Amino acid sequence: MAAAQRCSIVSLVSLLAVGLTLIPVPAASANRVLQTFHAGRFVLDLAIADCRSSECPIQVRLRVAGRVMDRVTLPVAAGSQRATAETTDTLWGADAGRRAWAIGEENDYVSTAARSLRLAPRTTALLVSQRYGFEHLKRNHLLILPRAGKLHIVWKAEEGSGPTWSATQILGSPDRREIVYFRGFFDPDEDAAERFDAVRLSFHTLSARLHETALPDRAMPLYLLNLGTHDTAAQARLARSANAYCLTPYWILDASRFRAGASGKAIIGALYAARASAEEAARSAKSCLPGVTASVETWSAPP
């Protein structure tokens, strides 16, 4: 019950955090292109297809010389073509500060964010994330690669049942990007730490596939934002609940994962793929809750 309530609070905070509507897209009976991306000689459109009955498929389309060559229909459809733009944040499930297109309200709500990235010097793909639902928001993520006039889904992830959360973040140099995929589960056991993990997705040019590596690894550490260590997970949950407005977005983590000899202890915090992101989150937490002790620690793979 508590986990479900917490998931609902996180969903509400997330919906409030995305901010005001930015750009209205009027309803239409024909296909509606929301956003356009360029990938070499290809053009990729994020679009809402013509509605049939009460369902309007959301698609990624591949165009060459103005002609649609292929399309991928995303897992969650819209209920109309009336979209408004919102800005993503960490809770949304995509890189913070990006544009997402929201349609509908409450149980009919679905929002879609698309980001282009160069996986290799001559390989550009589109990373698409969707967030949908109301009380228990869910997310899915797809990496779509245009190749030889076709669109290929080279990676996808969808949250399962229960109080789950996931996010994708793009890192790396401009000519060779990687994706970090975060996934978590708000464990309903009041005296248990919550599950929060990350994997690195690297593109292999010859096979045109993504390779998954659990983080941290020897090439990439993670950064732990520590907002307080408690003797038990139950105590950490109580401390988080006492400051729900500021601490609801953060996790109850098993301290022994990060420190030897810390068995049984729990940390209120979160993991980040970039130190700058962790430090920004620390500043935000202290601004919201001036009395909190916020520290950023590097979590490296064992030698």
Is 76 in contact with 59 (CB distance < 8 Å)? no
Q: Do residues 78 and 144 share a domain? A: yes
Q: Do residues 45 and 96 share a domain? A: yes
Of residues 122, 278, 113, the one with CA closest to residue 208: 122
Assigned token pair, 228 = 């307080």
Residue 181 has pLDDT above 50, yes or no: yes
Assigned token pair, 144 = 């779509």
Longest dimension (CA), the chain: 63
**Domain that residue 234 falls in:** 222-299
Q: Do residues 44 and 183 share a domain? A: yes
CATH number, domain of 269, equals: 3.30.70.1070
Q: Do residues 263 and 286 share a domain? A: yes
Assigned token pair, 229 = 């260590």
As a whole number, the mean pLDDT across the chain is 89
Query: Last residue of some domain: 214, 236, 260?
Result: 214
Q: How far is CA 247 from CA 50, 109, 233, in A?
A: 42, 25, 15
Determine the average pLDDT of the residues in 107-118: 96
Q: Do residues 277 and 250 share a domain? A: yes
Q: Do residues 188 and 232 share a domain? A: no
Query: Last residue of some domain: 183, 214, 245?
Result: 214
Q: Do residues 210 and 227 share a domain? A: no
**In this predicted model, which residue has the larger pLDDT, 158 or 16?**
158
- Name the one residue in this structure whose structure tokens are 């589960």: 185
**76-88 per-residue burial string, b: 16 or more CB within 10 A, e: under 16:** bbbbbbbbebbbb
**In this predicted model, which residue has the larger pLDDT, 11 or 48?**
48
Global pTM value: 0.87
Decide the pairing of beta strands 42-48 and 58-64. antiparallel
Q: Do residues 226 and 207 share a domain? A: no
Q: Do residues 197 and 245 share a domain? A: no
Q: DSSP string of 157-193?
A: EE--SSSEEEEEEEEEETTEEEEEEEEEE--S-TTSP
Provide the number of structural domains found in the chain. 2
- pLDDT value at residue 27: 41
Q: Do residues 127 and 200 share a domain? A: yes
* 81 backbone dihedrals φ, ψ, rounded to 5°: -100, 10
Of residues 119, 75, 80, the one with CA closest to residue 208: 119
Determine the average pLDDT of the residues in 231-244: 96
- pLDDT value at residue 22: 38
Length of the chain, in residues: 303
Query: Last residue of some domain: 157, 188, 214?
Result: 214
Q: Do residues 135 and 209 share a domain? A: yes
pLDDT in tens, 66-112: 899 999 999 999 999 999 999 998 789 999 999 999 999 999 999 99
- pLDDT value at residue 231: 95
Q: Do residues 93 and 172 share a domain? A: yes
